[in-house]
Amino acid sequence: MTGRVLAAGLLAALAAGPWPELPLVSFIPRLLLFAFALWSLWRRRALAAVVSAVVLVAWGVDLASRRVPSPKALEQRFWHQVERLSGELALLAQEPRLGQLLAGTGAEAEPEKPFAILGERWERLPPGVGGVVLVDGRGEPVAWVGERPRLPLEWRPVGDRAVVPEAWVGEVVLFCREPVYESGRVVGSLVANVSLPQSGSRSALGVSAGWGHMVVPELVEALEARPTLRLQVRPGVRRGLAASGAALVLVPLAYAAFGFFRWGLLLAAAAAVAVGWLPVGLAPAVMVMAAALLFLAFPKQKQKLASVTGALLAGLVVWALPPLLAEFGEPVLAFSLFPPPLVLLANLLALVALVLLLPAPGRPLHLFWLTWPILAWGMATASGAWLAFGVVLLALTAPAKGRAAFASLGVAAALAGGGDGATRNAILARTESTLARWGEVRSVARALVGSLPEGRLSELAAAAPGMRLVLLGELAAFAKVEEVLPGTALVLEDPEGKPVATWGEAGMLGEAGDQELASRKLAAGFRLRLLAPPPPHDVLAALAASGVGVPVAAFDRGGSPMSRGAPFRPLPPAVVGEALARERWWGSAIVGNRSVPTYLRAYGDWVLAVPWMRPALPDFFLLVVALGLWAFAPLFLWQVRGRLALWWRERASFAGRLRALAFTSAFLPLFLLANVLPGQWIREREQVRLEVARALGTAMAEGPRGELLGTLVRDLGVTVAVYRPSLLAVTSRPDAALTGGVPMLPPPEAYIRTVRRWREPVVQVNGTVSVFLPVRRESQNLVVAVLGLTEVVGSRFSPGEWFFATGLAVAFLALWAAETLARGLAAPMERLVEAARRLGRGEQATLAPQEFRNDEFGTLAQAFTAMAAEVQARQEELQRQRDLLERVLENLSAAVLVVEGDAVVLANAAAKKLGAEAGLPRLVASFGPTLSETLSRAQAGTPASARLFPRGQADAVWNLTAVPLSGESRRVCLVLEDLSEVARAERLASLTELARIVAHEVKNPLTPIRLWVEELQAALAKGPEDVVEVARLAVEEILQQVARLKEVSQGFSNLVALEQWEAVPVDLSHLAAEVVEEYRVLARRGVQVVFRPAEEPLSVVADPSWLQRALRHLLDNSAKALAGGPGEITVALAREGGWAVVSVRDTAGGVAEEHLPRLFEPHFSTTSEGSGLGLAVVWRVCQKAGGRAEARNLPPGLEVRMLLPLAS
């Protein structure tokens, strides 16, 4: 941070102002300072913008703090809220149930009902109402609700509607009364109270005084009239809320956001402490962090000096911090673990940061382990010097690995031990100062009473009975009686010598024996006395009231105790004698059931015992662990911030599962116990408290009440109050009834139990234990309250805090153990995984035996090395076989490819020549849809084969074999073999066979012709008369055989002519319609020809003339099959996938099933007529077009289908 930038920040803070100490109250000088600040930051525009925003906000805050409502406007809004409160009370008073309960004494018969009615309306009242009380016609409360319900001191609670203020000690209480009517008469009233502190408050009944101001009540007295309430608006103590204070904090924060993070944040914290935003106890933490940053900036050559200096500074802070915090009034020991006090935690973190930021040169490890016995001895003796020495040694010798954990635990132990020692020193100091003051008690008392103003004393003597206690309390506060002479009481006596008002504890319950320290006569015969309890109770009361914070006792020479705050067991007379001889001595005493170190102080013939209530060893251990965890947790999270993401990514790995298993195994039992045991512990504590309360109730019912109450007040240091049964009748601390220490009304549950004559006590816990005992004495229902019981047994921490600290500690230990174990196991596992990866890549994968211990991992490494050698040998063998297979595939004439879905995964050279690299659609376009159908059957798991006829290649024939690959998902191996030459040879063989068949067919007609010719020759030889008849018969037979020869030759010529194939795009619908039209003449013979065209145009690539011939052959066959009877021939066109289908169906009854496979063979016929070549021509035409023909019986006849591939 440059000087220019620092100066700009200072100017900006001054410009934000105003500063009361400097004459910069006008706006012009502040504006000039702001301009200079911006000029200094003109190169840092972003920082200048932020600083400008801070200054402008500060000016806005300053302007808002000056805008304050006038007292008149404030009073108007306040009295409007009072009217609203009165209206709500009026609505509540009109509740019929209240009148009926009060008029018929139903409140006593059913005491719960009025409480329920008040509770229903409580939420509707304005904010700031202290409580609402329902009183009956006698003025006795029967129900109440609110945080502090109370009744006026001198004003009758039953009557007409009224709003009356009363002056109480330190506050003005506004009472609103609303009568409750039943049958036209007043049967009770509702009384609400609103507290207005005389020191001022931010708001009253929800009416705010404005920014940084307070509402201050003022009572204006009037002769023969009730006092009038006025409200004033005064500036409040803003403690850092001024604009200048905000600027001091916000400007360094702006610097922290723009690159000066550490120093900016530190300066902001220092400014916040200076202006009062943060407690002054944080000042040591700020200074320690500043020192840590300075040590961090030391050059490398001076690291040793920085380390030693920083360690000494850490020890000095540990030694001085606990007494310094005690001087600031901050807690030096944590009484709560989540979270601990802010000041203690901040200083702890600062010290740990200092230790961590110091350079850590290597030092002997045995010196580091010596740190812990030193710290343990320092905690046992509460010696600040030993604790400081232990921290110095820790800072100098803590190893880098685990330094954060060691530093957190060590500094936490040092601060806990130092806090314990500071508590002991504070007890000693308070004890000695109180005893020193008590040695001159009478002279101090006379001076104090003599300094009281005469005017106030006269006002006290002339005051109404209800206001005397208030005025007496104001006198006690004016004279600071509780600070100067703790444990004493001011008592006002009437002319007859009877106490009429008591402020303090002496003279409680009218007991005799109190000693008078000073007195003063007042007007009208009244007398003011300053009393103290009889010795040694006076000293015990003084010690208890001085804030020593522990139980105290006084032992006589026989060792019998007189205790206050908790019961003490007797001391042996020898111990008492030694304490009297030494005057000041540290011994031990048993408080309750616990033996504790005790400061024994001789005081006349008595030995005063002030115990050092150290935390029990388990509590102390828990405190150290909890403080260490609070310091270590943020450091741990900061250190592992990058590792957390790695742990999350590794959650499914072996190490991740091991971490989860270790953490869960350690934490889950604690978690389950934490959900069960605290509840059980709380129930047991509640049962113990209830048993103590029952014992008090039994003693109260059986023994003398006055003696028991006096014993409770003096020995236990509690406050006793008696309610009759709802009004406070008498108390050992009347002053506490006005200040809130003693409730003016008992808890509703205690009152209800008293009215119903239930003797079960009510126990309340709010820091201390309060017991309310329903008692019946002399036909009266009473509630006796014992307030302020202190629990001196058991742990100072709750089960939740125990489980929180131990659970967090176990969680960290489990994570550490899991991480250590995971690293120890994961390292060889990672080497094995890396070797496996190398093996998977086909690389050399061997493991050195020396890298593994002689355990299971070593055995696994040896087995893995052997396995890797075998796997590599097999890989080499597989590679050789793979190379051989690839060479074979590349040299195959057949096309071999592997298909997955529509993608070609593998293709040999022959397949690549066919265009396999372009994908499966390219092959389908070349070979037709038969390839897709065959592939689909194979992908379904069934091997398939088919003949393919490539488009545009009339003589090409391919054989397709599709085989699904086992173990592979939807992968199919396709083998395409070119059978064109084989097909050509087959055609030649077929033609040869045809020629043989034709020769046979020609030979058969020639024999009858030759026979008839020979018959004609014989007839001619016989004579002309026989020639005519023979010639006639011979001509008929010869013509019939010639026609048969012509049919045979025509069929043969058709099969041969198919070799002259001229393929062109053909509109199949148009072609079929023309052929069908030729056969309409069959209708004359009773045969109907029906044509069903396709729904869409069908185009194929074929020879149109041969398509017509094939269709005519089909129609001729159907017509011949229907010869001799009526019937129907249906010609239908349709599209099925990539095929155009032409079907011809008749109603002639079909053919035998065994003849269907041979229908398309040449010269096969199911009738004696015909050559059997028609369907062979149909098959050949479909084959030439790249399709196929099929026949099936479809009742009532035969259906022949021609499947032709659609033109692409």
Three-point CA angle 194, 197, 198, nearest 5°: 130
H-type helices in 892-979, by residue range? 909-913, 920-927, 929-939
Predicted confidence band at 51 (pLDDT cuts at 50, 70, 90)? Answer: confident
Rg of the Cα atoms in the chain? 57
Extended strands (E) in 868-996: 895-900, 903-907, 944-948, 958-964, 971-978
Query: Mean pLDDT over residues 594-613, rounded?
Result: 92
Tokens found for residue 163: 């709003």
Q: Does the pLDDT value for residue 248 go beyond 90?
A: no
Separation between Cα atoms, residue 326 and residue 648, nearest integer Å: 45
Share of the chain above pLDDT 90, in %: 20
The token pair at 555 is 């032992």
| pLDDT > 50? residue 23 | no
pLDDT band of 239, cuts 50, 70, 90: very low
Q: Token pair 């024939």 is at which residue?
A: 957
Encoded amino acid at 939, one letter: Q
256 burial (CB, 10 Å; 0-12 / 13-18 / 19+) is middle
Start-to-end Cα distance in the chain: 80
Question: Taking 80 as the threshold, does the pLDDT of residue 807 lie above it?
Answer: no
pLDDT tens-digit readout, 1109-1123:
889 888 888 888 887
Main-chain dihedrals φ then ψ at residue 1098, nearest 5 degrees: -120, 125
Structure-token match 């000690």, residue found: 169
Q: Using DSSP, state whether 772 is helix, strand or coil.
A: strand
Residue 649 class from Cβ within 10 Å (0-12 exposed, 13-18 middle, 19+ buried)?
A: exposed
Per-residue pLDDT at 22: 40
CB atoms within 10 A of CB 785: 24
Q: Which of 1142, 1166, 1146 is nearest to 1154 (CA)?
A: 1166
**Closest Cα to residue 162, out of 150, 174, 151?**
174
pLDDT for the residue 1056 = 57
Distance CA(612)–CA(601), nearest Å, equals 13
Point out the least confidently predicted range of 495-499, 744-748, 1032-1036: 1032-1036
What phi, psi does 376 have (nearest 5°)?
-65, -40
Taking only the tens place, the pLDDT of each residue in 852-910 is 566 666 677 777 777 777 777 787 788 888 888 778 777 777 888 888 877 888 888 88
Which of 751, 815, 810 lies closest to 785 in space, CA to CA? 751
Mean pLDDT for 1027-1054 is 71
β partners of residue 961 = 945, 975
Q: What is the mean pLDDT of residues 592-616?
A: 90
Q: Which of 7-16, 897-906, 1090-1099 has the lowest mean pLDDT?
A: 7-16
pLDDT tens, position by position, 983-1013: 677 667 666 666 665 665 566 567 677 777 7
Label the pairing between strands 225-235 and 489-493.
Answer: unpaired
Residue owning tokens 């400081």: 388
CA distance 464 to 468: 6
Diameter over CA atoms, the chain: 199
Query: Which of the residue ranges 619-628, 665-674, 928-937, 1138-1147 would you say has the lowest mean pLDDT?
Result: 665-674
- SS3 annotation, 497-548: CCEEEEEECCCHHHCCCCEEEEEEECHHHCEEEEEECCCCHHHHHHHHHCCC
Residue 375: what pLDDT?
92
* Res. 817: pLDDT tops 50: yes
Q: Please tell me the number of Cα atoms within 13 Å of 1132 on its side-chain side.
A: 12
Sign of CA dihedral 686, 687, 691, 694: positive
The predicted pLDDT at position 1071 comes to 92
What pLDDT, on a 0 to 100 scale, did the predictor assign at position 657? 77
Angle at 549 between CA 543 and CA 553, to 5 degrees: 50
Average pLDDT, the chain: 81
pLDDT at 225: 66
Where would I find the H helices in 505-653? 537-545, 573-582, 617-639, 641-649
pLDDT at 301: 64
pLDDT score of 104: 72
Distance CA 715, CA 721 (A): 16
pLDDT at 146: 93
Structure tokens at 85: 């409160």
Indicate if the pLDDT at residue 844 is higher than 80: no
**What token pair was written down for 21?**
């100490």
Question: For strand 552-555 and strand 561-564, is the pairing parallel, antiparallel, or unpaired?
Answer: antiparallel
Give per-residue pLDDT as tens, 145-168.
Answer: 999 999 998 888 898 999 999 999
Q: Kindly state the tokens that stand for 896.
A: 């071999």
Convert the pLDDT of each residue in 325-343 to its tens digit: 888 888 887 777 777 888 8
Phi, psi (degrees; rounded to nearest 5) at 1188: -155, 165
> What would the pLDDT profile of 710-766 be if each residue is shown by its tens digit?
777 777 778 889 998 888 988 888 888 888 889 999 999 999 999 888 889 999 988
pLDDT of 808 higher than 60: yes
**Peptide bond preceding 536 in cis form (omega within 30 of 0):** yes
Each residue's pLDDT tens digit, 424-478: 998 899 999 989 888 888 898 999 999 999 888 888 888 888 888 888 988 998 8
Question: Distance between CA atoms of 637 and 1008, rounded to whole angstroms?
Answer: 116
Question: Given its phi and psi angles, is residue 350 left (phi above 0), alpha (psi -120 to 50 degrees) or beta?
Answer: alpha
| Predicted confidence band of residue 242 (pLDDT cuts 50, 70, 90) | very low
CA distances from 193 to 133, 164, 278, 571 (A): 9, 10, 35, 51
Q: Strand 515-521 vs strand 129-136: parallel, antiparallel, or unpaired?
A: unpaired
Question: What dihedral do alpha carbons 465, 469, 471, 474 form, nearest 10°?
Answer: 180
The one-letter amino acid code at 699 reads A
Is pLDDT above 90 for 251?
no
Output the CA–CA distances (angstroms, integers) from residue 952 to 522, 611, 1063, 1153, in the order listed.
138, 115, 8, 35
Instruction: Give the residue among 1164, 1181, 1115 at the shortest CA–CA distance from 1144.
Output: 1115
| Region 949-965 average pLDDT | 78
Residue 509 pLDDT > 50: no
C-alpha distances out from residue 458 to 225, 433, 473, 737, 738, Å: 21, 34, 15, 24, 22
Cα 805 from Cα 861, distance rounded (Å): 43
User: Cβ contacts of residue 966 below 8 Å, gap of 6+?
Assistant: none
**Containing H/E element for 186?**
strand 185-197
- Indicate if the pLDDT at residue 815 is higher than 80: no
The answer to whether the beta carbons of residues 990 and 908 sit under 8 Å apart is no
Q: Are 1096 and 1058 in contact (CB under 8 A)?
A: no
Q: Is 574 exposed, middle or buried (0-12, 13-18, 19+ CB in 10 A)?
A: exposed
Residue type present at position 819: E
The closest alpha carbon to 125, from 76, 191, 210, belongs to 191
Gap between the Cα atoms of 816 and 819, Å rounded: 5
DSSP state of 1206: B
